[in-house]
Amino acid sequence: MELDSVMLSRMLTSMTLAFHIIFATIGVGVPIMISIAEFIGIKRNDPYYLLLARRWARGFTITVAVGVVTGTAIGLQLSLLWPSFMEVAGQVIALPLFMETFAFFFEAIFLGIYLYTWDRFKNRMTHWLLTIPVMIGSSASALFITTVNSFMNTPQGFELEGGKAVNIDPIAAMFNPATPSKVFHVLTTSYMTAAAVLAAIAAFAIIRGKRSEYERKALRLTMICTFIFSILTAVAGDVSAKFLAEVQPEKLAAAEWHFETEEGADLILFGTLDENNEIKYELRLPKFLSFLAGNSFDTKVIGLNEFPEDERPPLWVHYMFDLMVSIGFFVLAVSGIYILLDKLKRFNQLNKPLLWMIVASGPLAMLAIEFGWIYAEVGRQPWILRGYMKVSEAATTGDGVGLTFILFALLYLVLGVICVFVLIRMFKNTPAEAELEQRFPNL
C-alpha cells in the first residue's frame, strides 16, 4: 500500500477521530450519569449517590480538557488535510461547526459553575438544576457535529456550479435525511458506553475487595442505566439499518456481504470471502436482512452488484458492523442478567464471573463505538461527500503529512498517559471511604 498524501491524510484523520471519540463519548454520556446520581441522592437524602455525582464530575473535568485538544485538532485537520472538501462544503457546514463550538462553551460555563457551587445552595435541587444545561450542552455538541457527518452521507442544501457551492441553505444542510437516525444512534450509544464504563470501574473495585455500600450502589445504578440505554441503542441501530436500506443501500449491502438484489435476504454474521466473493464459514439467519431493512421477511434488499465497482465500499466493513452489533448485544445481555439476579436477590458481590463480564463491558462498549465509527466512515467510501466528491479528490497534495502524523501520534500518546495518570492519582489519593467520612462524619 502506497503511503501517498491521500492515504497519509486518511491515516492522520482516522487516528485523531479514534482518539477523540473516546473523550467525546465520555463527554456526552457522563453528564447524564452525574445528573441521575445527584437527583437520586437529593430525593433519597443518600450521601452515597451524592458522592458518586461529586467524584464522577471531578473525573469528568479531566476528560473534557483532553477532548478540547483533540476536538481542536480535528478542526485544524479539516482545513489542512482536506482543502478541496472545505472549499466546496466549508460554507455549507459552517453553521453546525460554529454551533458545536458554542454548545461546548455553553457546557463548559455551566460545568464550572456546577463544580464550584457544591453545598452553596440552601435548596440542593438548585445545584442539581445546573446539570441540565451541562447535559444540554454536551448532547447539543454531539448533535451539531453529527449533522456534519450526516451531511457528508446525504448532502443537500446547496448546488454545485463550477466547483463552487451556491444557493446555500445551511438549515437544510444540517437537517439532511441522515441526521435523525445518526443523531439518535450517536446519543444513545454515548449514554450506554458511559454507563458501561462507570459500571466497569465499580465492578473492578468490588473485585479488588472494596465492597462497601458506595460500590454496591454505584454498580446497581450504572448497570440499570446501561440496560436502559442498551435497549435504546438497539432501537437506534434498527432505525439506522432501515435508513441505510432506503437511502444508502450500498453501505448496508457491504456490511452484510449482500451482492444480489433479492427478497427474503439472509443476514450474514462473520464468515470469510474468497476471491470470487463466495461466503464461507458464516452464521446465516434466513431472511433476517430483509426484516432488518423493512420489517418484513419479504422486503427487497438492493445488492452490491447494482453499483459500479469504483463506488462500492470496502467489504471488510462487514467485520466492523458485526463486531459493533455483537458487543451491543453482549452489553445488553450482561446488564440484563445482573438486573435479573439483583431483583431475585441472587447476585452478591462475590459473583466474580459476572463481575468480570461487567468489567469487560466497559472497554468493549468503547470498542463498539470505534468499530461503529469505522463502519460509518469507511462504509461511505470512496466518497467524502457522497455523490459529489471522492476522498482522492479532496485530500491535500502538499508534503509533510507524514511528519505531521508522527507529531500528532506523539501528542495523543502524551495526552493519553497524562489523562490516565491524573485520573488514577486523583481517586487513589482520595478514596471514596475517606471522602465519605470527611463529608458525612455521622454516616
Quick one: CA dihedral 252, 253, 254, 256, positive or negative? positive
Distance CA 335, CA 352 (A): 15
Q: Is residue 292 one of the residues assigned to a domain?
A: yes
Domain extent at residue 278: 192-386
SS3 content of the chain, % helix, strand, coil (to 5): 70, 5, 25
| Number of domains present in the structure of the chain | 1
Other CB atoms within 10 Å distance of the CB of residue 253: 30
pLDDT for 435 beyond 70: no
Q: Is residue 311 one of the residues assigned to a domain?
A: yes
Q: Is residue 39 one of the residues assigned to a domain?
A: no
Q: Is residue 319 one of the residues assigned to a domain?
A: yes
Q: Is residue 338 one of the residues assigned to a domain?
A: yes
pLDDT of residue 91: 81
Q: Is residue 243 one of the residues assigned to a domain?
A: yes
pLDDT for 277 beyond 80: no
DSSP assignments along 92-151, one per residue:
TSHHHHHHHHHHHHHHHHHHHHHHTTTT--SSHHHHHHTHHHHHHHHHHHHHHHHHHHHH
Other CB atoms within 10 Å distance of the CB of residue 42: 17
331, 196 in Cβ contact below 8 A?
A: yes
pLDDT of residue 436: 56
Percentage of the chain exceeding pLDDT 90: 17
Distance CA 114, CA 118 (A): 7
pLDDT digits (tens, 9 = 90+) for 247-260: 888 888 888 888 88
Q: Is residue 56 one of the residues assigned to a domain?
A: no
pLDDT digits (tens, 9 = 90+) for 293-343: 887 888 888 888 888 888 888 888 889 989 999 999 999 999 998 888 888
Other CB atoms within 10 Å distance of the CB of residue 208: 9
Q: Is residue 123 one of the residues assigned to a domain?
A: no
Percentage of the chain exceeding pLDDT 70: 95
Beta bridge partners of 285: 267
301, 280 in Cβ contact below 8 A?
A: no
Element (H, E) at 233: helix 213-247
Among 162, 157, 106, 159, smallest CA distance to 134 is for: 106
pTM to 2 decimal places: 0.89
Size of the chain, expressed as the number of residues it contains: 443
As a whole number, mean pLDDT of residues 370-396 equals: 85
pLDDT for 276 beyond 80: no
Mode of pairing for the β-strands spanning 262-263 and 300-301: antiparallel
